[in-house]
Amino acid sequence: MNKLINDPANVVSDALRGIAAAHPELHVDHENQIVRRGDAPVRGKVGLVSGGGSGHEPLHAGFVGPGMLDAACAGEVFTSPVPDQIVAATTAVDGGAGVLHVVKNYTGDVMNFEMAAELAEAETGVAVVAVVTDDDVAVQDSLYTAGRRGVGVTVLLEKIAGAAADQGRPLAEVADVARRVNANGRSMGVALTSCTVPAAGKPTFDLPDGQMELGIGIHGEPGRRRVPAAPAAEIAEMLLTPILADLDFTGGSGVIAFVNGMGATPQLELYLMYHEVAEILGKAGITVARSLVGSYITSLDMAGCSVTLLRADDDILRLWDAPVRTPALRWGA
Amino acid sequence: MGRAGAYAGAAVGGLTAMTATVDTAALTAWLQEFAREISAGKDLLTRLDSAIGDADHGVNMDRGMTAVLAATRDETPATPAELLKRTGMTLVSRVGGASGPLYGTAFLRMATAAGDAGSLDARGFAKVLRAGLDGVVARGKAEAGDKTMYDALAPAVDALDAALDAGQGLDEALRAAVRAAEEGRDATTAMIARKGRASYLGERSAGHQDPGATSVTMLMTAAATALPGEA
């Protein structure tokens, strides 16, 4: 394992020190492992709190700032944050209008955020609404699974709901926007390599050359199927086919198309993939209204990518275009 | 660890009647033994979790139990309930993932069930353990066959009750509980996961022993090792 670390046990806290040094506009609470806007709480604005295991950077700390999140809770690597952290973040950003929790559908994240919401409401009276993302079409949503995972759509949701909160919409409306984004977004991912969790020191799974894992999440867990490696054009088909089968993306105001790198895939390959995705969407009669290409929700040093499509309406597109000023996403401001 | 021996000795020494007395010192010895088992089995738990989860169960539980030892070492809780509550809160605050809320809720429910008793008899301990199991079910909504810690914990609690009903002493009953936990743990290997991150693997989760069922078996083994039996 060749990594830029000091001690595997301190990876998260050491990284938070770097965030604090690089972004003086953010406030880092090292004890609780929380990153929040330096000017939080913003009076009268709904606060947006997200969080999850570390290792998915820039998600979530990289999306803290005006127009997006008010605070992010960093768990240990691939481990959800604990309720104390989430409660501390929630009370720190409550500007009197309540707080929206953005939670990815993983058993641990859901349970810790649930406990935190109960505690925050009981102890401080902050109104909390949680929206759970579950956009991964690789997982069957049935009685026999924990439901679909929350993956790429989380990034788009944090931007769009963040803009809605910035406009001064009340908690119920911000939550509605967030649910609308989740309901209209679908994702699918592929791994070309495993990732290496610092504390484990070796790759989570063995993936021989010439093989890839189709239908992965973001925690280095193996995918739904192992398949032979294929050219990018075929991979794009494999990712888009289940997405397009799950939801009708034609019509409306078009889609936001998001090609996301898993951490170790260069921008060169991501743009190459985006081209293949755009070709397929064009042939399927789907209009791309906006696009995003880059590594925004990652799985440490995993190579591979995911594709997310969000069926947009005019409100969603306006919120997407609204100014945002965070370390990892920034425009119009 | 010398301290664990001292506690266990104190508990055994405190026995005067023919019934087991599970007091705060005995429960502390149980938690210390559990922490030792987790620490020794950290790599095993992580290896099991790499196969079907996210490779952090060993590290997370070890971090949590190390914190529990620290939280109970300097200021000894006065009652079993206080000890169990502090354990639950510490696990919720330190473990994260799914294990933190599940183990944390289990110990918090155990604390409630222990009430203000200064010590528990064998029946009392079995009741406390069942309250912990109910907490796991309430928090995780797990059922038999989901391939989770429930699949080892539920048969262990049932076996403990059954053995006590049959008139066995606590030590013998706990050994029966350990055997039931081990069987439950081993049975998870063939199961297809329906909860947690392993469920995302579908049929590929079969053929792997569940890490949660493994750590909860350690909890039962630690009880059999550390808790007093009949005098």
ipTM of predicted assembly, 2 dp: 0.80
Are A198 and A57 found together in one domain? Answer: no
CA pair distance B108, B61, nearest whole angstrom = 16
Q: Which of A23, A60, A101, A219 is catalytic?
A: A219
**Distance, C-alpha A123 to centroid of its chain:** 29
Are A167 and A55 found together in one domain? Answer: yes
Are A219 and A298 found together in one domain? Answer: yes
Q: CA end-to-end span of chain B, whole Å?
A: 24
pLDDT tens for each residue of B118-129:
999 999 999 999
Are A62 and A87 found together in one domain? Answer: yes
Fill in the DSSP letter of residue A64: B
Instruction: Give the pLDDT mean for A185-191.
Output: 98
Residue A13 lies in a domain: no
Residue A214 lies in a domain: yes
- The answer to whether the Cα torsion of A224, A225, A229, A231 is positive or negative is negative
pLDDT tens for each residue of A286-314:
999 999 999 999 999 999 999 999 999 99
- Count of domains forming chain A: 2
Residue A306 lies in a domain: yes
What CATH code is carried by the domain that includes residue A65?
3.40.50.10440
Which of A108, A146, A220 is opposite residue B199, by nearest beta carbon? A146
According to the model, what pLDDT value does residue B9 have? 39
According to the model, what pLDDT value does residue A224 have? 82
Minimum distance, in Å, between the CA of residue B2 and any CA atom of chain A: 27
Residue A12 lies in a domain: no
Q: Which of B4, B21, B2, B3 is nearest to B12 (CA)?
A: B21
Are A148 and A103 found together in one domain? Answer: yes
What CATH code is carried by the domain that includes residue A223?
3.30.1180.20
- The answer to whether the Cα torsion of A273, A139, B199, B61 is positive or negative is positive
pLDDT tens for each residue of A9-19:
999 999 999 99
pLDDT tens for each residue of A201-232:
889 888 999 999 999 999 887 788 999 999 99
Residue A219: active-site member: yes
Residue A275: active-site member: no
Are A213 and A304 found together in one domain? Answer: yes
Statement: residue A154 has pLDDT above 70: yes
Are A189 and A266 found together in one domain? Answer: yes
Q: What is the DSSP string of A260-272?
A: EE-BSS-HHHHHH
Last residue of a domain, one of A127, A162, A181: A181
Report the mean per-residue pLDDT for chain A: 95
Are A160 and A216 found together in one domain? Answer: no
According to the model, what pLDDT value does residue B200 have? 83
Q: Which of B231, B230, B228 is nearest to B8 (CA)?
A: B228
Are A297 and A311 found together in one domain? Answer: yes
Residue A2 lies in a domain: no
Cβ neighbours of residue A54 closer than 8 Å, sequence gap 6 or more = A11, A12, A15, A74, A75, A76, A77, A78
Domain membership of residue A296 as a residue range: 185-323
Are A167 and A294 found together in one domain? Answer: no
State the Cα torsion B184-B189-B195-B197 to the nearest 10°.
Answer: 140
Last residue of a domain, one of A158, A181, A204: A181
Are A95 and A213 found together in one domain? Answer: no
Give the H or E element holding residue A52: strand A47-54
pTM value is 0.89
Are A248 and A298 found together in one domain? Answer: yes
* CA-angle at A151, arms to A119 and B189, nearest 5°: 85
Asked if A84 lies within 8 A of B53 by C-beta distance, the reply is no
Last residue of a domain, one of A142, A166, A181: A181
Residue A329 lies in a domain: no
Residue A50 lies in a domain: yes
Asked if B55 lies within 8 A of A204 by C-beta distance, the reply is yes
According to the model, what pLDDT value does residue B230 have? 63
Minimum distance, in Å, between the CA of residue B56 and any CA atom of chain A: 7
Report the mean per-residue pLDDT for chain B: 89
Residue A279 lies in a domain: yes
Structure tokens that stand for A239 in this block? 């990712």
Statement: residue B76 has pLDDT above 70: yes
pLDDT tens for each residue of A15-41:
999 999 999 999 999 999 999 999 999
Question: Contacts of residue B55 in chain A, CB cutoff 8 Å?
Answer: 78, 197, 200, 204, 220
